[in-house]
Amino acid sequence: MRRTLVLVSVVAVGLGLLLARPDAARQASPDRTGWLWYKGNTHAHTTESDGDSSPEVVTRWYRDRGYQFLVLSDHNVLTNIETLSRTFAVPEQFLLVPGEEVTDAFEKAPLHINGLNVSRLVEPRHGTSVPDILQRNVDAIREARGVPHVNHPNFVWAIAPEHLQQLERYRLLEIYNGHPQVNNEGGGGRPGLEDVWDRLLRAGRRVYGIAVDDAHHFTRPWDPTASQPGRGWVVVRAPRLEASALMASLEAGDFYASTGVELESVESTREAITIRVRPKGETRYRLTLVDANGAHPPVEGLTARFPLEARMRYARVVVRDSNGHQAWIQPVFLD
């Protein structure tokens, strides 16, 4: 299977209004299959649950900063996007995808799973243990024809790697969540989320890593305890800006996750992963191949071609920049 991923310059990362309408760039440089790349955030809250701003304000924030799609994921509320879409949605420029954060708990452990593109409200199913509750809610989201993503496993240290090992019918796992209290990096004997992801991949689970904002606060940008927007997102390759197409690409791993690193191109085949980073000023980049046996010595620079071998079992690439931002390229499975 050959997956050739060439990014066009529609991916505007934090560059504001100038790139919010990148039609010329889109038409000038589609990749060879005609698919395009769309930047989106799949996790944001509004006043429909515990966010501090209305759905209109939140949607405008993302639309004006060059995102092409957004999922409003309020807690156990399917925020109505019909009216919003009449105001904000523009074909091939900006799309609202229905969504919800199915919010459950086991004792004091918060168990949250986003349902993307659900066809109706999904009520939390509850259950008798962490794995039981997770599975019941994943199944409920699937029954509503939605795509589940498992949220912030280390929030209140609720979801351990062994819980995720048991979970079925999910493809997407938050490996970065922009909320300031979700313990992305692990500690105190608990692994960070990138390590959790590799444990799952080594165990043969086909799981893709996503980065999200989990934005709650749009009115206090000075506050380090606030959950600000603009911290984590995905860039999805799809044939068109349409919810079912985006969902299919997410579940196929046709995307990368980012906290600030932009890519110009990615080519993933069973033979090699080839990456070109889009440079930004004097920022420098380190590209690292990770396989089932661990991390390889990094390549310093803007481009790299990593040859793959079957004994790697899976291979993925992470790009880290000199200012602490990342891009995670999704794994290629070799067995």
In angstroms, the CA 274 to CA 266 distance is 6
Instruction: State the nearest-atom distance from the C-beta of 39 to Zn ion, in Å.
Output: 19
Instruction: State the nearest-atom distance from the C-beta of 44 to Zn ion, in Å.
Output: 8
Instruction: State the nearest-atom distance from the C-beta of 110 to Zn ion, in Å.
Output: 6
Instruction: State the nearest-atom distance from the C-beta of 142 to Zn ion, in Å.
Output: 19
Task: Using alpha carbons, select from 270, 255, 296, 97 the residue that is nearest to residue 171.
Answer: 255
Instruction: State the nearest-atom distance from the C-beta of 151 to Zn ion, in Å.
Output: 5
Cβ nearer to Zn ion, comparing 116 with 304? 116
In angstroms, the CA 190 to CA 176 distance is 15
Cβ nearer to Zn ion, comparing 214 with 321? 214
Cβ nearer to Zn ion, comparing 105 with 272? 105
264, 7 contact by CB (below 8 A): yes
Report the residue closest to Zn ion, judged by CB: 112
**DSSP-based three-state secondary structure for 105:** strand
Chain positions contacting Zn ion, by CB under 5 A: 101, 112, 151, 214
Beta strands 285-291 and 299-300 are antiparallel
Instruction: State the nearest-atom distance from the C-beta of 228 to Zn ion, in Å.
Output: 13
Cβ nearer to Zn ion, comparing 104 with 214? 214
Residue type, 329: I
Tokens 């200012």, located at residue = 323
335, 310 contact by CB (below 8 A): yes
**DSSP-based three-state secondary structure for 111:** strand
In angstroms, the CA 192 to CA 197 distance is 9
Cβ nearer to Zn ion, comparing 9 with 54? 54
In angstroms, the CA 83 to CA 315 distance is 43
Written as six digits, the tokens of 120 are 């109706």
Instruction: State the nearest-atom distance from the C-beta of 216 to Zn ion, in Å.
Output: 7
292, 204 contact by CB (below 8 A): no
229 burial (CB, 10 Å; 0-12 / 13-18 / 19+) is: buried
Tokens 């199944």, located at residue = 139
238, 246 contact by CB (below 8 A): yes
Tokens 């380090």, located at residue = 224
Cβ nearer to Zn ion, comparing 152 with 276? 152
Instruction: State the nearest-atom distance from the C-beta of 187 to Zn ion, in Å.
Output: 19
Cβ nearer to Zn ion, comparing 10 with 44? 44
Cβ nearer to Zn ion, comparing 159 with 261? 159
In angstroms, the CA 145 to CA 141 distance is 6
Instruction: State the nearest-atom distance from the C-beta of 43 to Zn ion, in Å.
Output: 6
Cβ nearer to Zn ion, comparing 12 with 71? 71
